[in-house]
């Protein structure tokens, strides 16, 4: 007899589901079901599965069979929804198997959704955007707090907050994160920018292989520039300052100029300063505003 490992459900599930957790995982009887009787779980957070990894798993299954049973629940006459084990299901299909071992759970909709979300989010190879979307569903659909969600998936509360903020990214940037063109650090660096600027900088990060630190520097400069453009009524009260001789600042100045296509200059004074952007005609200004996601009223 094989029992479902408690770890696969996450300690925090008791806080979300109470006694339901025991009821949904108590069955230890292994059955065999045809693949045609199984269907993917509707709460599956994983949007893509690596074809190469699935092929490797399929080869292993051809040699050794499915070593760990899938966790499923009955949803209609002769039809079962997968709660845990969709990768094994897909690999078994590739391997040409007709049936697989399963454990049938009596989980209701709420319990099944929480179980599949937690089981997938505990995997190290889940994309940050998939984690973010899974957490959002866990919080919105079950009304749990960030603290409860953090306990359920074994992460810190700050990590949960950072993941949820990824929903603020522009859709094209989310697609790049999902595809692996940028990573979590890059994505977080882009969050202070408006949508159009997020997309422009994300594309540059991908094309030029910029580091997270470089992305953070460019973002900081663009935020300053955007603030100066928006606040046209603020008078310049700072006196003249000498240009920075810091090599990092010089490099940043050039990077910003390359990104926006206009000449730039830093003027530093004390702990603050200015970022000056020069344009020779209003078409250049209009182009810059569009890159920053700013439009005239």
Give the pLDDT confidence score for residue 210 in this predicted structure: 92
Are 119 and 8 in contact, with CB atoms under 8 Å apart? yes
Give the pLDDT confidence score for residue 239 in this predicted structure: 43
Give the pLDDT confidence score for residue 95 in this predicted structure: 94
Per-residue model confidence as pLDDT tens digits over 70-82: 999 999 999 999 9
What domains does the chain contain, in order, with CATH numbers? Answer: 6-165 (3.90.1530.30), 169-291 (no CATH)
d(CA 200, CA 104): 49
Own/partner pairs, 72-78, CB within 8 angstroms, 24+ separation: 72/33, 72/38, 72/102, 72/103, 72/104, 72/105, 73/104, 73/105, 73/106, 73/107, 73/112, 74/104, 75/39, 78/37
DSSP character at residue 11: T
Ranges under pLDDT 50 in the chain? 1-10, 19, 21-26, 227-244, 297
Per-residue model confidence as pLDDT tens digits over 59-115: 999 999 998 899 999 999 999 999 888 889 999 999 999 999 999 988 887 777 777
Q: Which residue is listed with tokens 């973010």?
A: 132
- End-to-end, the C-alpha distance of the chain in Å comes to 69
Is the entire prediction scored with pTM above 0.75?
Answer: no
Residue positions annotated with a catalytic role: 86
d(CA 233, CA 256): 24
């Amino acid at each position: 007899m094989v029992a479902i490992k408690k770890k696969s459900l996450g300690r925090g599930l008791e806080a979300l589901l109470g006694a339901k957790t025991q009821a949904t995982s108590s069955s230890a009887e292994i059955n065999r079901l045809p693949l045609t009787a199984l269907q993917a779980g509707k709460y599956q957070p994983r949007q893509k599965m690596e074809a190469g990894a699935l092929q490797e798993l399929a080869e292993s299954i051809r040699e050794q069979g499915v070593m760990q049973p899938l966790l499923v629940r009955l949803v209609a006459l002769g039809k079962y929804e997968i709660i845990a084990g969709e990768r094994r299901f897909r690999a078994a299909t590739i391997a040409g198997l007709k049936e697989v071992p399963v454990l049938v759970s009596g989980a209701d909709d709420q319990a099944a959704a929480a179980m599949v979300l937690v089981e997938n989010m505990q995997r190290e190879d889940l994309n940050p955007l998939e984690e973010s979307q899974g957490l959002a569903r866990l919080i919105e659909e079950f009304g749990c707090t960030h603290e409860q969600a953090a306990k359920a998936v074994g992460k810190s509360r700050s990590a949960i907050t950072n993941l949820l903020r990824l929903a603020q990214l522009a859709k094209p940037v989310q697609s790049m994160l999902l595809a692996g063109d940028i990573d979590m650090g890059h994505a977080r660096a882009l969050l202070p920018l408006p949508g159009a600027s997020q997309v422009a900088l994300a594309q540059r990060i991908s094309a030029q292989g910029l580091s997270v630190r470089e992305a953070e520097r460019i973002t900081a400069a663009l935020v300053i520039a955007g603030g100066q453009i928006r606040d046209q009524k603020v008078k310049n009260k700072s006196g003249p300052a000498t240009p920075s001789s810091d090599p990092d600042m010089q490099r940043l100045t050039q990077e910003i100029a390359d990104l926006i296509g206009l000449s730039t200059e830093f003027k530093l004074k004390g702990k603050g300063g200015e970022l000056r952007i020069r344009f020779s005609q209003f078409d250049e200004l209009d182009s810059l505003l569009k890159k920053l996601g700013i439009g005239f009223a």
